[in-house]
């Protein structure tokens, strides 16, 4: 039985595989709790199918033709969570003030169910009260018109469709800003910046087919069994073919060790398991640059560089080679926490491989040197010509199901990534060219008062972002907060000084009926495949509007009429929005609607780097010479730890499904800090003790998180781990990746106070 938070905490190491019966039991717990069992089961079968809906959980690629059951434990939880029969009605808000709701846990807030009515915050009673949609749009439009466009932020959380996202960025640019941060700014922005500079594209180069041809995978900082479980099918197949899977992760994550396919009756009946990793290296948090330098050094010094590829396709190799030769093994060992022998073993396997893929996640991107991490991984691939051939390439594993697609259609604060020339031509206006605010800059603006209004297309910004305490204080001074959401969360409970609107929308699994009939939407997965998605479940409430309808409602109240834009017609038929996308971004979306009809499983939008066309400054793939090998951005000192913030197997970002982190054996609580046995002793603590963590950012601002139970765990010395979002109050806003501004959530400097 899955533990709930009121149960007694229990820390028993898990010895089962990923997947398997544990995964089935976890589902058997959560699906009935959401009390929509018949609907959920039918919907699970439609998940990630050409005529079904795209899973609302992760962005991992969907095969075509699909597997009979292309869903996983965590995708099923996300589905059950969204189509729950629980409702947050006007009665709910009559019963609870916002002050009271602020004392609720993230779990309890979302567990209350789906939002049903558009609401306005009423300060006199400290409650949300029902308000008609027309009143909401008129008030929001009027308030935004009274503000300077540069003081308004339009955030997006990565789930909304390509159609909604295109309309949203267009509204912001017509209004006069590109303050369009997106969850990507807290996530894979290090990828967008790093890969763009290195190989000329901001996204990965591989597709699912590459898994059939690869003979080595370098796997850095990604927790597959929890965050992209469907990828276990590909990894297992790779392992069964006898290929190498070399993992670098400070934690021994179960899903990277072994897997039982819950959809395979024989494996389930015989309880057989497939190992995943062929080598597992417990690198220090922030030690990957050093580990990768060790591999590169061995490859170079032992004559395994593909000099033909390097000469034909890359730039700045000589400087990188000199740096690798000059770097000593003592520095590499110290900074990575790994032995020379272990790194040579990884390097030998890599050198033997004819086609290597590099897969990675937040373990690389969320560091002060996050962009260098990404570029160093590309260095490794370039050394042996591993870009632009079958079975090879770089594979960032994206987070939200359409986060990559939102960037593709213009939700970006960076002018060079948006189709501004086309927007100008199509809609006859001068799109803003002043760089917009990213997540870190938006937080800074809320804190210093220069941001006056915050519009959120999904997400839970206050909880997901760093510097929680100051952010919440600043939030309360806003003139306007607009929250477009499916479920209640902390960001909805900090009312602005001016107006606060809570606007409930349809989820992707629900039927979206408009003037021209039921609507499909589209999204882009981690490997740049564009998929259609059709919701069929009855909407959670008759008062919900679709996301395109909400964006159009605000846009019409805010903007002067434009003869080239008929917002109502677009809402009536999303195919018209796709025609606009095809015109604005023809190199990816030409014949968008036709291709959706012709290629039922979706279509690959293409990738120049995968054809060895590198649209970089030099026209070649760029080697990066890293300045330092420590990715944390701070020096180690006595009593200072590197805190890595983790997701459990029972959450989707700030959405907490329950209190069971099965693979890590942590059950019944999230208030833990995982520590190495020697570190516990050195600090004079014992397992089970309660401690407070304090930030050690050196800026004299006090940041603390208390009541954390010390759990003995296999983490490298000097590294400790605890959960996100509980630990976000410890992250200083200034502690972020240098070029990409991704908060450095995987190595936060902290001290332990008893
Ligand atoms: N079920 C579920 N699925 C999800 C999500 C979810 O919360 N729940 N979130 C979605 C989103 S938005 C995203 S971005 C992805 C996130 O998916 P991941 O990229 O897997 O992110 P995390 O779980 O934060 O941590 C990644 C891994 O990095 C390791 N790590 C930490 N520090 C380091 C380091 O310095 N070096 C190395 N090599 N490894 C390190 C951690 O031990 C952990 O195993 O998943 C998406 N999918
Ligand atoms: N310390 C630390 N901080 C982190 C991270 C970390 O690893 N460590 N990870 C970062 C990462 S990778 C990310 S992506 C961010 C996540 O940041 P966000 O994307 O802002 O947060 P989520 O928790 O995914 O947002 C959940 C809310 O989205 C709303 N929602 C769900 N579905 C829909 C929908 O279909 N439409 C609309 N309009 N709303 C919907 C619901 O109201 C729900 O409460 O957090 C970042 N913060
Ligand atoms: Mo993410």
Q: How far apart are CA 327 and CA 625, in angstroms?
A: 12
Does the fold of domain 641-753 match that of domain 189-399? no
Residue 302 has pLDDT above 60, yes or no: yes
Q: Where are the domains of the chain?
A: 87-186+402-579, 189-399, 641-753
| CA-based nearest residue to 54, from 421, 422, 525 | 525
* Shortest-distance atom of ligand 2 to CA 731: 1
- In the chain, how many H helices and how many E strands? 32, 34
Give the Å distance between the CA of 398 and the centre of ligand 3: 7
* Shortest-distance atom of ligand 2 to CA 727: 1
Could you tell me if 690 and 707 are in contact, meaning their C-beta atoms sit under 8 angstroms apart?
yes
Residue 134 has pLDDT above 70, yes or no: yes
Closest C-alpha residue for ligand 1 atom 3: 227
Least confident range from 72-81, 367-376, 610-619: namely 72-81
Ligand 1 residue neighbourhood (C-beta within 6 Å): 57-58, 74, 187, 220-223, 226-228, 248-251, 253, 283, 285-286, 288, 361-363, 397, 399-400, 644, 646-647, 651-653, 746
DSSP sequence for 529-597: EEEEEE--BPPS-TT-B-HHHHHHHHHHHHS---TT--HHHHHH-HHHHHHHHHHHSHHHHTTHHHHHH
| CA-based nearest residue to 200, from 615, 607, 740 | 615
Crossing angle of the two packed helices 162-175 and 420-427, in degrees rounded to 10: 80
| CA-based nearest residue to 718, from 100, 84, 285, 388 | 285
Residue 3 has pLDDT above 60, yes or no: no
- The DSSP bridge pattern shows strands 621-622 and 10-11 to be unpaired
Could you tell me if 710 and 685 are in contact, meaning their C-beta atoms sit under 8 angstroms apart?
yes
Q: How far apart are CA 216 and CA 346, in angstroms?
A: 10
Average confidence score pLDDT of the chain: 94
Q: Is 369 exposed, middle or buried (0-12, 13-18, 19+ CB in 10 A)?
A: buried
Closest C-alpha residue for ligand 2 atom 21: 459
Residue 2 confidence (pLDDT)? 45
Closest C-alpha residue for ligand 1 atom 31: 363
Two tokens, residue 668: 């019944």
User: Which pLDDT tens digit goes with each residue over 319-334?
Assistant: 999 999 999 999 999 9
Report the range out of 1-5, 61-65, 529-533 with the highest average pLDDT: 529-533
Mean pLDDT for 166-174 is 98
Closest C-alpha residue for ligand 1 atom 1: 227
Residue 1 confidence (pLDDT)? 37
Residue 6 confidence (pLDDT)? 52
Mutate to test the pocket of ligand 2, among 182, 221, 223, 460 (most ligand atoms within 8 A of CB): 460
Give the Å distance between the CA of 526 and the centre of ligand 1: 15
User: Which pLDDT tens digit goes with each residue over 117-128?
Assistant: 999 999 999 999
Q: Which residue has the tokens 């967008």?
A: 192
User: Which pLDDT tens digit goes with each residue over 17-60?
Assistant: 777 767 767 777 777 777 777 677 778 778 888 788 888 999 99
DSSP, collapsed to helix, strand or coil, labels residue 258 as strand
Q: How far apart are CA 436 and CA 150, in angstroms?
A: 8
Query: Is the distance from the beta carbon of residue 399 to the nearest atom of ligand 2 less than 6 Å?
Result: yes
Tell me which ligand sits closest to the C-alpha of residue 459. 2
Tell me which ligand sits closest to the C-alpha of residue 228. 1
Mutate to test the pocket of ligand 2, among 487, 653, 737 (most ligand atoms within 8 A of CB): 653
| Ramachandran bin of 619, using left for φ above 0, alpha for ψ from -120 to 50, beta for the remaining angles | left
Q: How far apart are CA 397 and CA 527, in angstroms?
A: 9
Give the Å distance between the CA of 60 and the centre of ligand 1: 13
By the CB criterion, residues less than 5 angstroms from ion ligand 3 are 187, 399
- Please report which residue ranges of 559-708 form alpha helices under DSSP H: 567-572, 574-584, 586-589, 592-598, 677-682
Q: How far apart are CA 337 and CA 284, in angstroms?
A: 5
- Please report which residue ranges of 611-682 form alpha helices under DSSP H: 677-682
Beta bridge partners of 114: 87, 487
Could you tell me if 98 and 111 are in contact, meaning their C-beta atoms sit under 8 angstroms apart?
no
Mean pLDDT for 108-134 is 98
* pTM as predicted: 0.96
User: Which pLDDT tens digit goes with each residue over 429-449?
Assistant: 999 999 999 999 999 999 999
Give the Å distance between the CA of 668 and the centre of ligand 1: 21
How many Å from the N-terminal Cα to the C-terminal Cα in the chain? 33
Mean pLDDT for 280-297 is 98
Q: Is 544 exposed, middle or buried (0-12, 13-18, 19+ CB in 10 A)?
A: buried
Residue 473 has pLDDT above 50, yes or no: yes
Query: Is the distance from the beta carbon of residue 459 to the nearest atom of ligand 2 less than 6 Å?
Result: yes
DSSP, collapsed to helix, strand or coil, labels residue 743 as strand
Q: Which residue has the tokens 């490997």?
A: 527
Closest C-alpha residue for ligand 1 atom 2: 227
Give the Å distance between the CA of 732 and the centre of ligand 2: 19
Residue 140 has pLDDT above 70, yes or no: yes
Query: Is the distance from the beta carbon of residue 401 to the nearest atom of ligand 2 less than 6 Å?
Result: no
579-585 contacts at long range (C-beta below 8 A, 24 or more positions apart): 580/166, 580/426, 581/162, 581/163, 581/166, 581/409, 583/422, 583/426, 584/166, 584/409, 584/410, 584/419, 584/422, 584/423, 584/426, 585/408, 585/409, 585/410, 585/419, 585/422
| CA triple 207-594-415, angle to 5 deg | 65
Give the Å distance between the CA of 652 and the centre of ligand 2: 7
Per the document, the length of the chain is: 754
Could you tell me if 707 and 753 are in contact, meaning their C-beta atoms sit under 8 angstroms apart?
no
The secondary structure of residue 491, as a DSSP letter, is: G
Q: Give the H/E segment covering residue 655.
A: strand 655-656
Two tokens, residue 652: 């989707």
Q: Which residue has the tokens 């959809």?
A: 263
Query: Is the distance from the beta carbon of residue 653 to the nearest atom of ligand 2 less than 6 Å?
Result: yes
Give the Å distance between the CA of 399 and the centre of ligand 1: 9
Mutate to test the pocket of ligand 1, among 30, 76, 189, 249 (most ligand atoms within 8 A of CB): 249
Residue 261 has pLDDT above 80, yes or no: no
pLDDT category of residue 4 using cuts at 50, 70 and 90: low
Mean pLDDT for 266-284 is 85
Q: Look up the CATH superfamily of 189-399.
A: Dimethylsulfoxide Reductase, domain 2 (3.40.228.10)
Give the Å distance between the CA of 193 and the centre of ligand 3: 15
How many CB atoms are closer than 10 A to CB 699? Answer: 12
* Shortest-distance atom of ligand 1 to CA 400: 12
Give the Å distance between the CA of 702 and the centre of ligand 1: 27
Closest C-alpha residue for ligand 2 atom 25: 459
Residue 609 confidence (pLDDT)? 98
Mean pLDDT for 236-245 is 94
Query: Is the distance from the beta carbon of residue 487 to the nearest atom of ligand 2 less than 6 Å?
Result: yes
> Which of the four CATH numbers 1.10.10.10, 2.40.40.20, 3.90.1150.10, 3.40.50.261 does domain 641-753 have?
2.40.40.20
Query: Is the distance from the beta carbon of residue 507 to the nearest atom of ligand 2 less than 6 Å?
Result: yes
Give the Å distance between the CA of 310 and the centre of ligand 3: 33
Question: What are phi and psi for residue 707, nearest 5 degrees?
Answer: 60, 40
Could you tell me if 296 and 383 are in contact, meaning their C-beta atoms sit under 8 angstroms apart?
yes
- CATH number given to 87-186+402-579: 3.40.50.740
Query: Is the distance from the beta carbon of residue 457 to the nearest atom of ligand 2 less than 6 Å?
Result: yes
Residue 131 has pLDDT above 80, yes or no: yes
Give the Å distance between the CA of 320 and the centre of ligand 3: 31
Could you tell me if 116 and 540 are in contact, meaning their C-beta atoms sit under 8 angstroms apart?
yes
Could you tell me if 294 and 271 are in contact, meaning their C-beta atoms sit under 8 angstroms apart?
no
Give the Å distance between the CA of 155 and the centre of ligand 2: 11
The secondary structure of residue 47, as a DSSP letter, is: B
User: Which pLDDT tens digit goes with each residue over 539-564?
Assistant: 999 999 999 999 999 999 999 999 99
Give the Å distance between the CA of 703 and the centre of ligand 1: 24
Give the Å distance between the CA of 251 and the centre of ligand 2: 24
Two tokens, residue 577: 């929005």
């Amino acid at each position: 039985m899955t533990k709930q938070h009121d149960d007694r905490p229990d820390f028993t190491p898990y010895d089962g595989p990923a997947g398997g019966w544990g995964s089935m039991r976890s589902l058997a717990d959560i699906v009935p709790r959401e009390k929509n069992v018949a609907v959920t089961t039918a919907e699970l079968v439609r998940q990630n199918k050409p005529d079904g809906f795209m899973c609302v959980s992760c962005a991992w690629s969907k095969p075509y033709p699909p597997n009979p059951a292309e869903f996983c434990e965590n995708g099923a939880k996300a589905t059950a969570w969204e189509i729950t029969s629980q409702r947050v009605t006007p009665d709910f808000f009559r019963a609870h003030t916002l002050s009271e709701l602020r004392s609720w846990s993230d779990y309890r807030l979302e567990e209350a169910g789906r939002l049903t009515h558009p609401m306005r915050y009423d300060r006199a009673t400290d409650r949300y009260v029902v308000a008609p949609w027309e009143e909401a749009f008129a008030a929001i439009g009027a308030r935004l018109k009274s503000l300077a466009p540069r003081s308004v932020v339009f955030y997006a959380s990565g789930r909304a469709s390509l159609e909604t996202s295109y309309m949203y960025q267009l509204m912001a640019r017509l209004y006069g800003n590109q303050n369009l941060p997106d969850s990507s700014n807290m996530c894979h922005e290090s990828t967008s910046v790093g890969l763009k500079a290195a190989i000329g594209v901001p996204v990965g180069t591989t597709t699912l087919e590459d898994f059939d041809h690869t003979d080595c995978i370098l796997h850095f900082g990604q927790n597959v069994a929890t965050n992209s479980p469907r990828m276990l099918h590909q990894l297992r197949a790779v392992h069964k073919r006898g290929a190498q899977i070399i993992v670098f992760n400070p934690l021994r994550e179960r899903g990277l060790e072994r897997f039982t396919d819950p959809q395979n009756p024989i494996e389930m009946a015989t309880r057989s398991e497939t190992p995943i990793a062929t080598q597992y290296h417990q690198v220090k948090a922030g030690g990957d640059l050093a580990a990768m330098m060790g591999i590169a050094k061995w490859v170079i010094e032992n004559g395994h560089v593909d000099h033909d590829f390097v000469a034909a396709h890359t730039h700045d190799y000589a400087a990188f080679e000199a740096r690798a030769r000059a770097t000593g093994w003592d520095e590499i060992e110290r900074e990575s926490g790994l032995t020379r022998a272990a790194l040579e073993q990884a390097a030998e396997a890599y050198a033997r491989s004819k086609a290597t893929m590099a897969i990675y996640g937040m373990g690389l991107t969320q560091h002060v040197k996050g962009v260098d991490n990404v570029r160093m991984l590309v260095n490794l691939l370039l050394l042996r010509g591993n870009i632009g051939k079958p079975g090879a390439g770089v594979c960032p594993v994206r987070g939200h199901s359409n986060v990559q697609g939102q960037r593709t259609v213009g939700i970006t604060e960076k002018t060079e990534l948006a189709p501004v020339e086309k927007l100008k031509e199509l809609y006859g206006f001068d799109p803003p060219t002043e760089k917009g605010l990213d997540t870190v800059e938006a937080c800074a603006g809320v804190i210093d008062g220069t941001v006056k209004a915050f519009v959120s297309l999904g997400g839970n910004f206050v909880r997901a972002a760093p510097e929680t305490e100051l952010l919440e204080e600043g939030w309360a001074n806003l003139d306007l907060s607009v929250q477009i959401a499916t479920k209640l969360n902390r960001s909805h409970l900090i009312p602005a000084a001016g107006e606060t609107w809570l606007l409930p929308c349809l989820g992707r699994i629900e039927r979206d009926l408009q003037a021209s009939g039921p609507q499909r939407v589209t999204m882009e997965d981690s490997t740049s495949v564009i998929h259609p998605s059709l919701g069929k479940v009855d909407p959670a409430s008759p008062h919900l509007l679709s996301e395109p309808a909400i964006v159009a409602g605000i846009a019409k109240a805010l903007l002067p009429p434009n003869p080239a834009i008929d917002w109502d017609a677009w809402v009536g038929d999303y195919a018209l929005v796709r025609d606009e996308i095809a015109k604005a971004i023809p190199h990816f979306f030409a014949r968008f609607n036709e291709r959706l009809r012709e290629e039922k499983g979706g279509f690959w939008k293409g990738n120049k780097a995968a054809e060895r066309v590198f649209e970089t400054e030099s026209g070649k793939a760029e080697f990066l010479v890293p300045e330092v090998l420590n990715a944390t951005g701070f020096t180690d000192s006595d009593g200072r730890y590197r805190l890595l913030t983790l997701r459990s197997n029972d959450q989707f970002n700030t959405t907490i499904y329950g209190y069971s982190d099965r693979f890590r054996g942590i059950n019944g609580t999230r208030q833990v800090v995982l520590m190495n046995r020697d570190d516990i002793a050195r600090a004079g603590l014992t397992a089970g003790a309660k401690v407070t963590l304090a930030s050690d950012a050196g800026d004299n601002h006090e940041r603390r998180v208390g009541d954390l139970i010390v759990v003995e765990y296999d983490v490298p010395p000097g590294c400790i781990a605890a959960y996100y979002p509980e630990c976000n109050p410890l992250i200083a806003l200034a502690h972020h990746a240098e070029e990409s501004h991704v908060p450095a959530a995987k190595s936060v400097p902290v001290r332990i106070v008893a």
